[in-house]
């Protein structure tokens, strides 16, 4: 019927019984006539354990040896799944990233895929063999093992799908992409279809379902992508994986979505920190003098707000960074005080970013006004705003995060309808 890459995360392969469940999902697709490759993560908790051992061995460890250690978790998962599949009578063979090969740059611990030669995998798949590939890893220019960072198995799966011209199913512990985190909003709805752009925004703004880089690759290479649950019974009749009508969420081109919502989802992130420079001279080149050094240190800046004072000669500049980067950012900016000439440096960690996302924003007015009005009615103050063509994000006090998310979910009519 087609060529398929199936990816299973750490929870899905958490023990031998769950690996057997994964094998039954694979067996179903093989029985349906599909040529199958499987990408697996390390068993749940194993990567954290390996990282802990590495740090215990040496706080200042060699990044190349770090990758050699933490990449071993996926090797175990791949080998075990191949064994279980063979025991079920399905031809299968495990593959490590360097055997494919999955070529990456040399940034150990956060490598990016540069090329995949999918010819051997494609040949094996055409012969009926299931290729079980280790996710999260590849081989660098120095022929050393590299790892792709947290969530890298998603990226591995999409990249392999692009290399062998396959569609890609990402199996997780949730049954699709929701309009919001169901743990916060009880009436959150599962989205049947979502555009690549919307999914990319959701992933980058706090939704944990897919890694941002995997969505980027799927969008660039137009890889058909579906998010679904590995815990749904493999023999369930509701198992269509090809046209987006199945149990999960289909990530696709905007043109494939018949009925577009103005807002598709609400995302939030509490991993935010705010920095404010008070009394900055309002002259050309000052902004470059602030954000250039931050960029040189690899510190990403998100929201930026500048307010000019009444005297017209000074301004207050506010921006946000990831909370884990706050101390480094303050160190960089603090060292620039004499050069920039600001009077005070203020920071805060108790902030959160809440975002509304939807491709329908392109053709509908009043989306921002509804957001601001809804938050104002609940007494929630907005500290900063940033927008794109399909997204509006606001920075608020972290204590109001859940209230803001629920309020906006209702305001944009995303709540699931009660059933009798």
Residue ranges of the annotated binding site for ATP are: 7-10, 172-173, 178, 183, 208-209
d(CA 197, CA 194): 8
What is the C-alpha R_g of the chain?
23
In this structure, what are the phi and psi dihedrals at residue 9, rounded to the nearest 5 degrees?
A: -80, 180
Beta bridge partners of 417: none
- The CA distance from 413 to 410, in Å, is 5
End-to-end CA distance of the chain: 40
- Is the peptide bond between 130 and the residue preceding it cis, with omega within 30 degrees of 0? no
Token duo for residue 286? 């000052």
- Distance CA(25)–CA(287), nearest Å, equals 54
**What 3-state class would DSSP assign to 46?**
helix
Which residues contact residue 102 at a Cβ distance below 8 angstroms, ignoring those fewer than 6 apart? 113, 116, 137, 138, 139, 156, 159, 160
The H helix count followed by the E strand count for the chain is 13, 18
Helix axes 286-296, 326-334, angle to 10 degrees: 130
Binding-site residues: 7-10, 47, 74, 172-173, 178, 183, 208-209
Judge whether 264 and 367 are in contact, CB under 8 Å.
no
DSSP H helices, 5-61, are 16-31, 46-57
Residues annotated within a binding site for substrate:
47, 74
């Amino acid at each position: 019927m087609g060529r398929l890459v199936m990816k299973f995360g750490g929870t899905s392969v958490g023990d031998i019984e769950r690996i057997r469940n994964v094998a039954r999902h694979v067996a179903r697709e093989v029985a349906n006539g599909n040529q199958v490759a499987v990408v697996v993560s390390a068993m749940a908790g194993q990567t954290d354990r390996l990282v802990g051992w590495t740090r215990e061995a040496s706080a200042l460890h060699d990044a190349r040896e770090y990758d050699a250690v933490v990449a071993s978790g996926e090797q175990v998962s791949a080998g075990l799944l191949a064994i279980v599949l063979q025991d079920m009578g399905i031809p299968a063979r495990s593959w490590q990233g360097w055997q494919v090969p999955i070529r990456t740059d040399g940034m150990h611990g956060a490598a990016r895929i540069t090329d995949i030669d999918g010819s051997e995998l494609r040949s094996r798949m055409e012969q009926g063999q299931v290729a079980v590939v280790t996710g999260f890893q590849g081989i660098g220019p120095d022929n050393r093992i590299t790892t792709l960072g947290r969530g890298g198995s998603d990226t591995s799966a999409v990249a392999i799908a692009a290399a062998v011209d396959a569609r890609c199913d990402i199996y997780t512990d949730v049954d699709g992409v929701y309009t919001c985190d169901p743990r916060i909003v009880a009436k959150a709805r599962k989205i049947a279809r979502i555009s690549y752009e919307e999914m990319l925004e959701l992933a980058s703004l706090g939704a944990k379902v897919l890694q941002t880089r995997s969505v980027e690759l799927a969008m660039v290479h137009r890889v058909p992508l579906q998010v679904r649950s590995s815990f749904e019974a493999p023999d369930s009749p509701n198992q269509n994986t090809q046209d987006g009508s199945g149990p999960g969420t289909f990530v696709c081109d905007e043109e494939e979505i018949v009925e577009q919502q103005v807002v598709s989802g609400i995302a939030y992130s509490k991993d935010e920190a705010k920095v404010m420079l008070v009394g900055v001279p309002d002259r050309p080149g000052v902004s470059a003098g602030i954000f250039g050094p931050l960029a040189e240190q690899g510190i990403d800046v998100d929201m930026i707000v500048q307010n000019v004072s009444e005297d017209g000669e000074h301004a207050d500049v506010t921006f946000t960074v990831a909370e884990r980067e706050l101390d480094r950012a303050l160190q960089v900016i603090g060292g620039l005080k004499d050069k920039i000439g600001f009077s005070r440096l203020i920071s805060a960690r108790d902030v959160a970013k809440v975002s509304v996302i939807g491709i329908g924003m392109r053709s509908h007015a009043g989306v921002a006004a509804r957001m601001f009005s809804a938050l104002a009615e609940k007494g929630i103050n907005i500290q900063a705003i940033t927008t794109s063509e399909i997204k509006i994000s606001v920075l608020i006090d972290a204590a109001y995060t859940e209230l803001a998310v629920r309020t906006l979910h209702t305001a944009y009519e995303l709540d699931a309808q009660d059933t009798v």
